[in-house]
Structures are given as structure tokens and as C-alpha cells.
Structure 1
Amino acid sequence: MPGTRRTDLVLLLVAVVWGSSYLAAKTATGSAPVLTVLFLRYGISALALVPLARGINRRELKAGFVLGLTQAAVLVLETYGVTHTSAANAGLIISLTLVLTPLLDRRGLPPRFYLAAGLCVVAVGLLTSAHGLHAPGVGDLLMLAAAVVRAGHVALVGRLSTGLRPLQLTTVQTLVGTALFAIPAVPHLPTHAGASTWLQMIYLALFCSVFAFLAQTWAIQRTSASRASLLLGTEPIWAVAIGIGLGDEHLAAPAVLGAVLMLTGTTWGQSIERAHRESRPQPVPVTQG
């Protein structure tokens, strides 16, 4: 059906945009400090969202404040992490969120799920030791921390966002992030930056934040959670493809194996969790990014 194809295309586009965000953030931080990049990402997003979000109520303010703090923590770890590792590695390691989130939800899961999670752990080891056995780099460790915090953030969204309007909730989160990063960022604003730097900032804000979230919400309302989860789960594939194709990155043989195991483990874990969830009357909202 044309409507189904259009919805699938929108979800796939969201996954592509999120996959590209790692290379965009890595490139942007080459021209401005991390906290400045985050301030501009949040600030531009807020300028776009505030005129659209009207009548924010007290519950949305409270939930948005808490989620704004956890979301900011995720982006700090992700952005610092990607500056010290490849965009491809960052996108693959952050996909651990897909198997960590169900674990944090504390629901009984089949033993097979833990096998899938273990496969992902092996994959991380291969990705972080692609050039021989050694301690994981700072960037890889930060991305691992980001995956844990992001899983907690997603679980928290599921608990706090029930009955709240996504647009208003997201607007509050962007305002919280803007306020958090304003003081350390303002002295380092790239006033003499070139057009490419500003385009990267605008892309991160309007496409990777505003467009991706609103498009995801629109699409999920028109399809099943399972189908949406499957399409959004392709994010790490796009992160690798864009990192290699546009960022001149490469994966050594162990890292290639790690990438395959990571994609296999997260996809397998998703399917197990989804089947387990659908067998019980406890629907869980799909939330990414």
C-alpha cells in the first residue's frame, strides 16, 4: 500500500539521519568545542520548536526537565566519545542500547536474549581491539557509557511520557539542554566559522533532532511498533556506511567481524524482546535517538 511504503520510507530516513549524526558531530567538533556544538544543536532546535509548542502544562515541564537532563548526559558522552573514535565505531557501539534497554526495564526475558546480549559484548571487544588486543580507547569507553545512559534515558521516557504530548515534551528538553550548555559554550561561539561549520550545526539541530523526532512520532502513529523498531534499528548500518563512504574511515578485519556480530546480536535481541513483549499485554513505546 502507498501509505505503508511512505511510512516505511520516513522511518528509514530517520534511521539514515541518526546514522549520519556521528560523522556530522565528529566533523563539527573539529571546528568548535564539544559543549559549544551541543549548545548550538540545542539552541537552534529550541528556536525551531518553541513557536510550535503551545500550552505546555506542569506535567510536561516536570517530565521534560528530568528527561532533558538525561538526554543532555547522553549527548555529552556521545559527542565527546565520537571525537576520540571513528563515526562507524560510535554508531555500532551505541546500538548496544537496543539490548540494554529491555534489561533495565527489569522484565523477565527468555535465556536466548542473554545470548544475544553476550554476542554484542563480544562484538564490542572486537570493535575496540581491531588492531590487536589492547585496552579500549577513551572514545570507545565513552560510547559504551553513552549506550548505558541512553538505555536508561529510553526506559525513563517510557515511564514519564505516558499521556504527554511529544512536541511539548521535546521542546522542554531542548530548552533544558540550551540552558545547561549556555555558560560554558558562549565564550567559544564560532563567530568566524565558515559556512560548512554552520551547515553542520544546523543539520545536527534541524535534521538529527527536530525532524528525526517529529518524523519518528508521525510514522509510529501509522505503523506497528515492531515494524518501526525494525526500520529504526538499521541506524548502525547507516553509521558505518556513511563513516566509510563520506568520512574516509575503514574497518580492519576484526572490526568487520565485530560489526557483523553487533548487528546480528542487536537484531536477534530485538526480535526476541519483541516476541516476548507481544506475548504479554504490556506494550512498550518505541523510542530512539
Structure 2
Amino acid sequence: MPDARRTDAVLLLVAIVWGSSYLAAQTATAALPVLVVLFARYALSALACLGLVAGRPGRGAPRWWTRDEIRAGLPLGVTQAAVLIVETYGVAHTSAANAGLIISLTIVLTPLLDRAGRRGGLPPAFFAAAGLCVLAVGLLMSGNGFHAPRSGDLLMLGAAVVRAGHVALVGRFTVRRSIRPLQLTTLQTLVGTALFLVPAAGDLPVLAHADTATWAQLGYLALFCSVFAFLAQTWAVQRTSASRASLLLGTEPVWAATVGIALAGDRFTLLTGLGATLLVAGTYWGQAVERAHRTEGSHAIAEAASTAGASAGPAEEDLTAPDLNKDAVRRSAALPGA
């Protein structure tokens, strides 16, 4: 029981850290250009990850990267950078609470993109949940009354779509491949650092004049919201059920709203408060429907193979048995903060 409570506490801490990342990103971009913030965040994350990789013993495996890790890490590094640039510009032009809530749409968008080109559709209940989320976003964007949505809200909506595509690609690039999370994360941070170096180069001298508070925000985004959160999430998900991990990590938008209201002075009207409630409810509902549908499908495939007299070896078993904890890691990547 103490171990279970400790695991739950770690997952809840990850959700809180990710929820607070929107305000941290908003504060950093108020002091520095967005591209400089992204470069600094990636560079600090890369240095930390490289230190961790170099400090770990080989244990019979390559210390740096395998061919599979490079093949997955390079394109995923590009898509992750695309997610962060849209998110960071978005959070700079909307409230931290709205940013954290709108990006949670990724949870219901990811299954739609993940099933593109595959047989079998999602049940009607999933689309009902998605419709509820769309209504909720409309209420959030209305602010104090129905009007044209803010540019930041639209950017966060776009970021949710881009992130859903990124998470779907994570699944396709890593399925049935031996890929180490730390090595994959390190490669992604190196790709992001390289991508933002040239666009941010002209403004990099401003970092020399950044105050202590700004550097603290950058360090928090890099070391806590990126490196710590990902590694802690991976550690905890391996020690609990997928459903419990998803439930705790899914509280991120609640923490984003809480931090925005408590520290940034974000105010919720009756309409936006209703929108926030409906969005959290809709994403939880959609996630539960998709998980149940996927699990039933996996069981049906396994039963069909058994009925047909298939004698599955280790490779075939990996194709039919649902590896829910690994899937929880992939799906929780849908909400890794700003």
C-alpha cells in the first residue's frame, strides 16, 4: 500500500507540474521572444538528458542510440518541436487556464488520427464525448460573452490537433520496437535544439540580460516540465495500472486552471466555468470509451486466434495481447504540458 500511494503521488505530481507549465511558458514569453524560450528550453533539456545518458552504465546495451531509436527519434523530434512552437505562441496570447483546458482536446483527437487508414471505427459514444468537448471549447472561447475567439485560443486548438498527430506517430514509430525512453527523449531534445538554433540566433544575446526569475522559468520548463516529468511518468506507469495512471495524469487541465486562477489572476465566468467542467468530463468520457473499445478489440483478436487453433509464439502474442501500461505512456504523452 505505501508503494501504491507513492506511485500515485508521483503521477499526481507530474500532472501538477504539467498543469503549471502553461503559466511558466506564458511568463517566460512575456520576458523573452518565443523562439528564444523554445531554444533555451530544448538546450537545457538536452544537456540534462545527455548527462543522464552518459552517467548510466551500459548494462550490455548501447549507451547512446540504436538504429530503431534514431529512426523514431528524428521524425518525432521534428513533430514534437512543431507541437511546442504552436503551443508556446498560443499560451502567449491566451490565459494559462484556457491553454491547459483546450489542449486537453488531444485526448479525444488522438484516437481519431491514430485510427486513420485502419479498419474498424470507434463507437458512437466516443463521438458524443467529442461533441461535448467541442461545445465546451466554444464556451471557453466565449469569455465574457459570445464573440470572435482570441488568437491564442485558436492556436491552442491547432496545437491540440498537431499534438494528437504527434502522439499517433509515437505509437506507430515505437510499436514492437526496443526503444529506451531516455534515449528517445534525449534525441528529441537534440533535434529541437538544432531546429530552433538558427531561427533564434539573432535574439540569443537577450539571454545574457535575462533576470533570475526568467532563468528560473526556463529551468523549470526544461528540467521539471520536460526531463523530470517524462522520466517520473515512465517510472510510475510501470508500477501501476493503465487506468489509474490515465486517471491521475488526466487531472492536468484541472491543475492548469487552478494555477491560472490562483497565480495569474485568470477569471472564470459562468460560461467559461461551465465550459471547463464539460471539457474535463468530455475528455474523461472519451478516454474511457476508447480504452474499453480498444481492450475489447484486443481480446476479440486473441479469442479468434485461439478458436482457430493458432499457436502463437512470443512474437504473435505481442501482436494480440494488450500492453496497457506501455499504451498508457503513449497516450499520456497527449498532455505533456506547454
TM class by smaller structure: over 0.9
The residue that corresponds to 2:14 in the other structure is 14
Q: Tell me, which stretches of 5 or more residues in structure 1 are unaligned? A: none
* 1:202 counterpart = 2:219: yes
Which aligned pairs between 1:210-289 and structure 2 lie closer than 5 A? 210-281=227-298, 282-283=322-323, 285-286=327-328, 287=330, 288=333, 289=336
Asked if structure 2 preserves the Cα contact closer than 8 Å seen for 1:130 and 1:253, the reply is no
Alignment TM-score, normalising by the size of structure 2: 0.83
Find the residue that maps to 2:297 and give its secondary structure: coil
Contact 1:42 1:175 in 2 (8 A): yes
CA RMSD of aligned residues (A): 1.1
Q: Does 1:68 align with 2:77?
A: yes
Q: What is the CA-CA distance between 1:270 and the residue it aligns to?
A: 1.1
Aligned residues of 1:220 and 1:228 also touching (Cα < 8 A): yes
Q: State how far apart, in whole Å, the 2-side matches of 1:130 and 1:123 are.
A: 12
Q: Secondary structure at the match of 1:134?
A: coil
Offset, 1:151? 0.6
What one-letter code is carried by the residue in structure 2 that aligns with 1:171? T
String of CA shifts for 1:188-226, please: whole Å, max 9, x gaps: 232111100000000000000000000011111111111
- Would the aligned equivalents of 1:23 and 1:243 in 2 still touch at CA under 8 Å? yes
Larger gyration radius, structure 1 or structure 2: 2
Question: What residue is the counterpart of 1:158 in the other structure?
Answer: 171
TM-score (norm 1): 0.97
For 1:168, give the aligned amino acid: Q
Q: How far, CA to CA, are the matches of 1:15 and 1:238 in structure 2?
A: 7
> Deviation of residue 283 (structure 1)?
4.3
| Aligned-pair CA distance for 1:110 | 1.4
Shift of 1:108: 2.2
Deviates more, 1:135-144 or 1:278-287: 278-287
Equivalent position SS for 1:135: coil
| Structure 1 consecutive aligned stretches of length 4 or more whose deviation exceeds 2 Å | 51-55
Alpha-carbon shift at residue 159 of structure 1 (Å): 1.3
Q: Quick one: which amino acid aligns to residue 286 of structure 2?
A: G
1:187 Cα deviation after fit: 2.6
Q: Distance in 1 between matches of 2:64 and 2:102?
A: 38
Residue number in structure 1 paired with 2:147 = 134
Match of 2:199 among 174, 184, 192: 184
Superposed displacement of residue 35, structure 1? 0.6
Whole-Å Cα distance in 2 between the matches of residues 130 and 29 of structure 1?
23
Q: Separation in 2 of the partners of 1:29 and 1:69?
A: 21
Q: Quick check: 1:144 aligned with 2:157?
A: yes
Hey, what's the Cα distance between the residues in 1 that align with 2:72 and 2:250?
26
**Alignment pair present for 1:45 and 2:50:** no
- Counterpart of 2:157 in structure 1: which amino acid? L
1:20 and 1:2 map into 2 onto residues whose CA distance is 27
1:125 aligns with 2:138: yes
Corresponding pairs, count: 289
Kept in 2, the 8 Å contact 1:277–1:283? The answer is no
- Displacement of 1:52 after TM fit? 2.3
Aligned to 1:85: 94
